[in-house]
Structure 1
Amino acid sequence: MQQVLPALDGEGRWSIPARLNMARQCLNQPADAVAVIDLTQGTRRDVTFAALEQMVDGLARAMAPRVKVGDRIGVLLSQSPWCVAAHLAIWKIGAISVPLFKLFKHDALTSRINDAGVTLVLTDEGGVDLVGGLAQAWIVADIGVSGGDVPFADTGSEDPAVLIYTSGTTGTPKGALHAHRVLMGHLPGVVTSHDYLGQEGDCIWTPADWAWIGGLFDVALPALAMGVPVVAARMAKFDVNECSAIIAQGGVRNVFFPPTALRMLKAQGASIDGLRSVASGGEPLGAEMLAWGRDAFGVEINEFYGQTECNMVASSCGAGFAARAGCIGKAVPGFDLAVLEDGKPTDGEGDVAVRRGAASMMLEYWQRPEETAAKFCGEWMLTGDRGVWEGDFLRFVGREDDVITSSGYRIGPAEIEDCLLTHPSVATVGVVGKPDALRTEIVKAYVVLKQGAKEDPEALKDWVKDRLAGYSYPREVAFLDALPMTVTGKVIRRELKALAIAETLQ
């Protein structure tokens, strides 16, 4: 089985060309080869690289007169050939793409579009209403694919290409600015987590949306760059039977399943044949889940680890070594990982960190120099997670911040708190994750009402649903007379977290 990892030299060091454009990298395949297997319309349509490049050139030609190098252009599209074509077109003319999620509501879109300075959004008919007056919105399918070729911008590997917003784990969402090298930085981890992706007959899919780094850079774009067909399919809500049908209709052999999808499959006793690799990331899987996966899929579930700022840094690989339950694999070749205590590597528990120079590492947080500086400690980028080494396996211990992991999404409490504080009945609020058997955690809000206001938990849930993302609203709302506060007036979330945990034990 192939074990040569792309983007690395013979000694496992990064080999990144000085001049690099991700659009060229993704389109550099035989014209008649299948790029995207499109199942979004209910029937199968194979989109070749030649057809994809025509779509890219049509969009690039339309944008070229009004878009300058370095401009930020939004992409508000779900899984589809047009989604990847939009990103490639933006990179082809030297602009910066900003992935946006179709489930975002007005406030979530406003914060990201305004922060990035987005003036144009590439979307579909449904997305036009979502964008509203925040920016100009173009329906990609209306632009057409006619005309001649558009030249690739002469971009360098360190030039900005994509601005991906975090979930806002320690405040409002931050834009992680990545360079054209970011795709090459993902390839070793993607190949490793799929038991050396690129074997004859490989075809990849994920139920994760391509608006997030996991769907876009762990699946869709690496597949194009490697010439592996990627399936585009959408489910309004994860459904086990529909999932199995997509895998069968698309001829899928390689899947990235978020942990919540795996739990749903396990709960319904699902079994899927014909898969060559299954990868999962976002939160650790236990020994029971790994054992079930071997029976249900006939392969090991390969766990991987990373974050928006620097992704695919550790991974398991069933074809290369046996997994260890509770661990998130070994450092992916090319990445130098450490566990730090007081800024120095330790053999005990500490802060998980990645050495500077990794190809998938961000350039900076967009227009946030102080927060960029705080992310680093000397030569190390701090992940904000705690871990410990077990030989060369990395065991995930927990998160230092207050991130909520729910159904595979990393949700920052600050954005939800800010939203609830705009409700006329809310005086103060604290948001934490409450343990949940299916979703890992659910969002729980502890609210202090203004004097005279009535308790109406459903109204507060709907308030967040209508303004942020559908997955981030509080599934439970509790009312308190006062919140635990520091002397400086900050909510002590760890006390609320302890209260939420205690509730699950009652």
Structure 2
Amino acid sequence: MGDPHRQGRPDLSASAHVDTFARDHLPPADQWPQLRFDLPELHYPDRLNCAAELLAGPPADRPALRTAGDAGEVWSYGRLRAESDRIAHLLTADLGIVPGNRVLLRGPTTPWLAACWLAVLKAGAVAVTVLAQHRPHELRTVCELARVGHALCDARVVADLAAAGAPGLRITPYGGDGADDLLRRPAPDGPYPAVPTAADDVALIAFTSGTTGRPKGCLHFHRDVLAIADTFSRHLLRPRPDDVFAGSPPLGFTFGLGGLVVFPLRAGASALLLEQAGPKQLLAAVAEHRVSVLFTAPTAYRAMLAEPGGHDLGSLRRCVSAGENLPAATWRAWHERTGVRIINGIGATELLHIFVSAADDAVRPGTTGVPVPGWQARVQDAAGVPVPDGTPGLLAVRGPVGCRYLADPRQREYVRDGWNITGDTYVRESDGYFRYVARADDMIVSAGYNIAGPEVEDALLRHPDVVEAAVVGRPDADRGQVVVAHAVLRAGAAPDAEALRAHLKGELAPYKCPREIVFLDALPRTATGKLQRHRLRPAPGLAAELHDDQA
């Protein structure tokens, strides 16, 4: 077994990667957070391929993945192993992918996307999963930052990826009718021997929005993928082999990757993968497929409560909420309707999944919870000094997974003195529970999505009529916040909000597009020309009133 003390420091095992880009672009050793492996189950062997581990245990005939609708089907663990092995054979023998190559994965949430993800990891390559919603400009940025050379893309959404024009990117569609389709290519029969990657070889690069608008690539190891299952899932979810998981987050978000692939497979359970997972679809899916474990954001729980009754939700035994703050009123209303106590939690792409939470009798509505077993958390001031209980400060955490940005100077901002600083303001109560206060940066959190205002501003400024732009979040009872854009137009240009919206829909994923566009003659600035975003935000009293209403 691996030495947990050695694992806690950034000295790396011998890599199985032939293409060493990901390892070469890890942060310097002195910028890593302190890693902790305090639980026996976190002492992983030095050689570890997480995809092989996730598929190793369950019997071949046990259900693994399910789909909904008239063409719904059930994939057994035997089929999932066979399909991922077949794709891994094609990746290496046909496409020439070698361990360490970055492979972009793009498509709706389907068993084929999950099989491709597992195959990439089995082949020792690095998975870069993005959203089917992402637009060409966004996709090109990701490909350039991660130097992606290959992409496996659902045939239905190939056009935007091709339009990205990423240099040197080879796109292989899957699920289509073309002769070049991945699933139509002849492949060697039989099992694929998973590449014996190091436990600390990079398995995936997950991109998150940065407050500057430039996305940050988060490098996660093979052992990290198992660690989130062996902490949050094992100790709080406590899944059973007969559980059926479902939820709204796509696999391009680590919230969805964990909840819909990693956690159910680690437990030998199954997951219902929904291409459309709005509140109405979730309610129908729970009733029809007897879903027992549900992952979604507070916005969706509120929306499901607003839907007419009649859906049988009696199969639910675990409901998980993350992505934004869960108001106590929403928790109580859901508990009254279903009898299920929502497991609230806070996670981060930088840390892969949830690290503060509570379940069952330990749940206290209005708080996030306590550190998940295997994790530590504290509240500190800007200088890194812990503050007294009851005093707002910055949430700092550490555990078996830590922030490692892909060649990004913002590593020094997120990791300070060995702690990961999440960008959230919290209060630790005297009984040890952590209560959310607000984001500590300019990130807009809307319906569980993190949206960087500068990224939306850059997209607005690519319209020929816009000469200045400022984007802020406005409190919203349903979504937590909504995006509001302020635009200054060139002389003579007519204010046309619909034209700007149409432009933005071609530049940004839909969830980033402003709900409101305000036209101004000038943006508020200081005497030195610095933009004063705070003057564009609602008055603090309005935000406080909204918070009180939600509580």
TM-score by length of 2: 0.84
Residue 354 of structure 2 corresponds to residue 326 of structure 1: no
Residue 140 of structure 1, aligned match among 174, 177, 201 = 174
Structure 2: unaligned runs, 5 residues or longer: 1-35, 176-180, 547-551
Measured on the aligned residues, the alpha-carbon RMSD in Å equals 2.3
Tell me which residue corresponds to 2:452: 412
Contact 2:150 2:171 in 1 (8 A): yes
Residue 377 of structure 1, aligned match among 410, 413, 416 = 416
Separation of aligned partners in 2, 1:471 and 1:505 = 25
Contact 1:12 1:334 in 2 (8 A): no
Residue 488 of structure 2 corresponds to residue 451 of structure 1: no
Contact 2:39 2:374 in 1 (8 A): no
Contact 2:357 2:372 in 1 (8 A): yes
Residue 50 of structure 2 corresponds to residue 22 of structure 1: yes
Separation of aligned partners in 1, 2:442 and 2:54 = 36
Tell me which residue corresponds to 1:3: none
- What amino acid maps onto 1:227 in structure 2? G
How far does residue 412 in structure 1 lie from its aligned partner after superposition?
1.0
Separation of aligned partners in 2, 1:488 and 1:250 = 60
Tell me which residue corresponds to 1:228: 269
Tell me which residue corresponds to 1:150: 192
C-alpha change, 1:101 and 1:500, in structure 2 (3 Å) is: farther
How far does residue 227 in structure 1 lie from its aligned partner after superposition?
0.6
Deviations 1:219-244 (A, max 9, x none): 32221122111111221x6242x322
Tell me which residue corresponds to 1:392: 432
Between 458-467 and 265-274, the greater mean CA deviation after superposition? 265-274
Residue 291 of structure 2 corresponds to residue 252 of structure 1: yes
Q: What is the DSSP-based 3-state SS (H/G/I as helix, E as strand, rest coil) of the residue aligned with 2:119?
A: helix
- What amino acid maps onto 2:171 in structure 1? A
Deviations 1:280-310 (A, max 9, x none): 1112222211111112221101101111001
Separation of aligned partners in 2, 1:426 and 1:57 = 50
Contact 1:75 1:83 in 2 (8 A): yes
Deviations 1:367-386 (A, max 9, x none): 21x21122111111111111
Separation of aligned partners in 2, 1:504 and 1:11 = 41
Q: What is the DSSP-based 3-state SS (H/G/I as helix, E as strand, rest coil) of the residue aligned with 1:139?
A: strand
Tell me which residue corresponds to 2:210: 168
Separation of aligned partners in 1, 2:499 and 2:224 = 42
Structure 1: unaligned runs, 5 residues or longer: 1-7
How far does residue 490 in structure 1 lie from its aligned partner after superposition?
4.0
Residue 298 of structure 1, aligned match among 335, 339, 344 = 339
Residue 148 of structure 2 corresponds to residue 105 of structure 1: no
Separation of aligned partners in 2, 1:505 and 1:378 = 37
Aligned residue pairs, count: 488
Residue 402 of structure 2 corresponds to residue 361 of structure 1: yes
Between 178-187 and 302-311, the greater mean CA deviation after superposition? 178-187
Residue 81 of structure 2 corresponds to residue 53 of structure 1: yes
Tell me which residue corresponds to 1:31: 60
Q: What is the DSSP-based 3-state SS (H/G/I as helix, E as strand, rest coil) of the residue aligned with 2:103?
A: strand
Separation of aligned partners in 2, 1:442 and 1:210 = 23
Tell me which residue corresponds to 2:7: none
Tell me which residue corresponds to 1:345: 386
How far does residue 269 in structure 1 lie from its aligned partner after superposition?
4.7
Separation of aligned partners in 2, 1:183 and 1:501 = 42
Separation of aligned partners in 2, 1:36 and 1:339 = 40
Separation of aligned partners in 2, 1:292 and 1:14 = 37
C-alpha change, 1:338 and 1:479, in structure 2 (3 Å) is: same
Residue 510 of structure 2 corresponds to residue 470 of structure 1: yes
Contact 1:97 1:163 in 2 (8 A): yes
Contact 2:101 2:125 in 1 (8 A): yes
Deviations 1:48-80 (A, max 9, x none): 111111111121111114112211100002211
- What amino acid maps onto 2:357 in structure 1? S
How far does residue 170 in structure 1 lie from its aligned partner after superposition?
3.6
Q: What is the DSSP-based 3-state SS (H/G/I as helix, E as strand, rest coil) of the residue aligned with 2:503?
A: helix
Contact 1:186 1:218 in 2 (8 A): no
- What amino acid maps onto 1:79 in structure 2? T
How far does residue 504 in structure 1 lie from its aligned partner after superposition?
12
Separation of aligned partners in 1, 2:114 and 2:347 = 22
Residue 97 of structure 2, aligned match among 67, 70, 75 = 67
Tell me which residue corresponds to 1:80: 110
Contact 1:192 1:317 in 2 (8 A): no
Separation of aligned partners in 1, 2:543 and 2:487 = 16
How far does residue 276 in structure 1 lie from its aligned partner after superposition?
0.8
Deviations 1:58-105 (A, max 9, x none): 211111141122111000022111111111111111111001111111
Deviations 1:248-269 (A, max 9, x none): 3322111012111111112225
- What amino acid maps onto 1:169 in structure 2? T
Separation of aligned partners in 1, 2:450 and 2:51 = 28
Residue 326 of structure 2, aligned match among 270, 275, 285 = 285
Tell me which residue corresponds to 2:354: 312
Separation of aligned partners in 2, 1:55 and 1:234 = 20
Contact 1:184 1:360 in 2 (8 A): no
How far does residue 120 in structure 1 lie from its aligned partner after superposition?
1.3
Q: What is the DSSP-based 3-state SS (H/G/I as helix, E as strand, rest coil) of the residue aligned with 1:137?
A: strand
Contact 2:65 2:272 in 1 (8 A): yes
TM-score by length of 1: 0.91
Deviations 1:360-410 (A, max 9, x none): 323x21121x21122111111111111111122111111111111112211
Separation of aligned partners in 1, 2:279 and 2:326 = 21
